[in-house]
Amino acid sequence: MTPKIAVAPEGTREWICDAVRAGGAEVVKPAQAQALVWTDAGYDDGRRNGPEALKALVAKHPHLDWVQLPWAGVEPYATAGVFDDKRRWTCGKGVYAKPVAEHALTLALAGLRDLKRFATMQSWGEQSGISLAGGKATIFGGGGIARELIALLAPFGAEITVVRRHPRKMDGVHRVLGYDTRYEALRGADVVFVACALTPETAGLISSIELELMEPHAWLVNVARGQHVLTEDLVLALRDDTIGGAALDVTDPEPLPDGHPLWELPNCFITPHTANTEDMARPLLSQRITANVRRYAAGEELIGPVDPALGY
């Protein structure tokens, strides 16, 4: 039986519909659909196509028994109370892990190797830089990005510590700690990666306390959400050389306003949330949607489930 799936909100890119059809489904209006592919990321809460719009849509069509969201980060929908136990929810969890992990490692190496200073020099200067080979890396988060990052770090022979909600053994990792013992993971690390979901537990994860515990040469790399790091605390730590530096693909606020102190600090560099671009995302998200549509039609377990209780 061909599943009937709606794609919303209106104006969604046609390639999303193509991905649904590639999974063997028919694209229909919500009133006729069994499931929904919702394509708005929801970061501007209150917009016409944001979380409230999705909440209204599923309330109007309670027969929808599965909703697919596009991105791994679904905190706007969790905050708005969109998730429920009446249907299955899936997201882009793990879809973008490879490009984001690649970007995280790029930021880390660029920071440790002092590339910002070298890139702006106009005359021959002093040598500087730290090698990650045989060094130590800490990763906050144990999901897809962390797993891909662990694989990328393997050739460096770095000692890796992972901090996650539920500590359990992970291949290629020296130790796995819970958030209650996270301070142990900061001492001695050459680089600290933030790659975890944004929840009430992880908001403000990196504050002045954590920054003080980091090594004076260590770099902080954030490819998750800006709210993981207390921006004012980070600015002070960078000004005082408490840590070696920070490389940020996400900030709080975001976009980071012109003239913000982070732009001018010599030991900080920022990429405008480009760890995963639309060009990178299109084939990856298409594959996930197609795979989940096929699984839905076959009655199989869906990839990237969202736990309504946890909010991710």
Residues identified as active-site:
225, 254, 273
Q: Is 175 helix (H, G, I), strand (E, B) or coil?
A: strand
Q: Cα–Cα–Cα angle for 12, 256, 241, nearest 5°?
A: 140
Q: Tokens in use for 200?
A: 């009430």
Q: Tokens in use for 171?
A: 């291949």
What H or E segment, with its residue span, contains residue 74? none
Cα atoms found within 13 Å of the Cα of residue 224, Cβ hemisphere only = 28
Phi-psi region of 42 (alpha: psi -120 to 50; beta: other; left: phi over 0): left
Query: Measuring CA to CA, which residue among 162, 222, 155 is closest to residue 189?
Result: 162
Q: Tokens in use for 187?
A: 């001492």
φ, ψ for residue 194 (rounded to 5)?
A: -110, 115
Query: Measuring CA to CA, which residue among 181, 224, 177, 219 is closest to residue 203?
Result: 224
Q: Tokens in use for 54?
A: 């999705």
